[in-house]
Amino acid sequence: MKTNFTIRQEESKDFFTVENLVREAFWNVYQPGCDEHFIVKHYRSNPDFIKELSLVLEVDDKIIGYIMYSKAQIDCNDGTIIDVATFGPLAIHPDFQRQGFGKILVDYSLEKAKELGIPCVLRCGSGEFYGKSGFGPATTKGVRYADDSEGDALYFLCKELKEDFLKDIFGIYHDPKGYFVTHENPEDFEKYDLKFPKKEKLKLPEFLKGWGSKLLFPHFVFKDKIYDKIKTII
């Protein structure tokens, strides 16, 4: 791995570069083409967007990595709402994947999140990968994932940035609505994607048919065959 890298907050001059990077990183990974770049573009004006945690990683002054955080909530069984955070997309340029930059960016961002007073981060992902950064199954802490509230959901992960923050908290986590922007604005997405270089979309493999809208979201990592995909893009 190259050691001459820097991590800094994203600036307005980086926007298109970041969106193109995200598109390159996710193209044909979770669905034919991708829409993660559209989510990033729209999230910047979303009140849940945490701009201090919109971070780029540069190697030789070239942006090769990006991570974005969003405010999120746990709906507790007693009716209270607990503020937490999530992150995604996490993107590393294909030329720099599987070199450790993904973990570097995650670990750095978690330290920044802790400095900002964020008590806990929840997300879906590979326990093998994110476990190296201190994540574990959220269900063991009493928090269930709305889309799989009756299952073990071992891919639904959490990391407490404040010690024992989730102690005595029991509830359900819903993905922030900002991640559904493509689903709500499909025509706008199609027009937006025309701004980027044309790329061929792969046909959806048989084993992925039926996953439906879950394939639209950047921070999902699924069971069985698609579960290991996270390793190939970070």
Which pLDDT does position 151 carry in this prediction? Answer: 77
Closest CA to 25 of 101, 117, 109: 101
Closest CA to 38 of 55, 48, 26: 26
pTM, 2 dp: 0.87
Which pLDDT does position 227 carry in this prediction? Answer: 39
- pLDDT one digit per residue (tens) for the chain, 234 residues: 557 899 999 999 999 999 999 999 999 998 899 999 999 999 999 999 999 999 999 999 999 999 999 999 999 999 999 999 999 999 999 999 999 999 999 999 999 999 999 999 999 999 999 999 999 999 999 999 998 878 778 999 999 999 999 999 999 999 999 999 999 999 999 999 999 999 999 876 565 554 444 444 444 444 333 334 444 455
Radius of gyration, CA atoms only, the chain: 17
Q: What angle do CA 176, 129, 232 make, to 5 degrees?
A: 90
Q: Amino acid identity, residue 143?
A: V
Alpha-carbon distance of 147 to 127, in angstroms, equals 18
Q: What topology does CATH give the domain 5-196+213-233? A: Aminopeptidase (3.40.630)
Alpha-carbon distance of 223 to 24, in angstroms, equals 24
Assigned token pair, 35:
């829409």
> Dmax over Cα atoms in the chain, in whole Å?
51
Q: Which residue has the tokens 């709402």?
A: 81
SS3 of the chain? CCCCEEEEECCHHHHHHHHHHHHHHHCCCCCCCCCHHHHHHHHCCCCCECHHHCEEEEECCEEEEEEEEEEEEEEECCCCEEEEEEEEEEEECHHHCCCCHHHHHHHHHHHHHHHCCCCEEEEECCHHHHHHHCCEEHHHHCEEEHHHCCCCCCCEEEEECCCCCCCCCCEEECCCHHHHHHHHCHHHHHHHHCCCCCCCCCCCCHHHCCCHHHHHCCCCCCCHHHHHHHHHHC
Omega before 94 within 30 of 0, i.e. cis: no
Number of residues in the chain: 234
